[in-house]
């Protein structure tokens, strides 16, 4: 995907809605110096061009008893297209997997999973992760503390 050409007002709109996705169009328009209708048109264009992928509410995993993040490196026994697709389809069925990336380097995939604690991860590991198609090796790293976690993309 090539970068979309954005002007200063587009960037200001994106900065504001990343901080407050529930802002009204009228309030957003006032902050960026546009009429509500012009601001609405810009928002729609940004949505249609997939610059804005969607709107979400951020939920605290810890508040729901899933305060432990584990980064899991998974290496498959083969890296054929069909093996990668089979793994990806099955990993998408696992609700504890918050992020999954196809990697270049030592591991084939990097996952971030959320669990309650070490015992909960052991359950996930033995009942789900080791049973994913083609898994040859799993390396897990438990987080001790979150130092930085951003949901905003820099506009620079």
62-116 pLDDT, tens digit per residue, is 999 999 999 999 999 999 999 999 999 999 999 999 999 999 999 999 999 999 9
Same CATH fold, 62-142 and 8-48? no
Give the pLDDT of residue 156.
75
Give the pLDDT of residue 90.
98
Percent of the chain topping pLDDT 90: 96
For residue 122, CA distances in Å to 55, 100, 119, 142 come to 33, 19, 5, 12
pLDDT, mean of residues 118-135: 98
Topology of domain 8-48 in CATH is: Arc Repressor Mutant, subunit A (1.10.10)
Domain boundaries, the chain: 8-48, 62-142
CA distance 81 to 77: 12
Please state which of the four CATH numbers 2.30.30.140, 3.30.70.920, 3.40.50.2300, 1.50.10.20 is assigned to the domain occupying 62-142.
3.30.70.920
Output the pTM of the full model: 0.88
Phi, psi of 99 (to 5 degrees): -145, 145
What is the enclosing helix (H) or strand (E) of 98? strand 97-102
């Amino acid at each position: 995907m090539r970068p979309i050409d954005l002007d200063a007002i587009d960037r200001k709109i994106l900065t504001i809605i990343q901080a407050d996705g529930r802002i009204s169009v009228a309030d957003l328009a006032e902050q960026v110096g546009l009429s509500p209708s012009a601001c609405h048109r810009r928002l729609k264009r940004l949505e249609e061009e997939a610059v804005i992928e969607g709107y979400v509410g951020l939920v605290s995993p810890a508040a729901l008893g899933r305060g432990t993040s584990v980064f899991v490196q998974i290496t498959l026994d083969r890296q054929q297209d069909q093996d990668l697709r089979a793994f990806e389809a099955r990993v998408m069925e696992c609700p504890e997997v918050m992020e999954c990336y196809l990697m270049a380097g030592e591991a084939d995939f990097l996952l971030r999973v959320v669990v309650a604690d070490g015992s909960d991860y052991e359950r996930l590991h033995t009942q789900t992760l080791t049973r994913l198609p083609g898994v040859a090796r799993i390396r897990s790293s438990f987080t001790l503390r979150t130092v930085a976690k951003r949901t905003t993309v820099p506009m620079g």
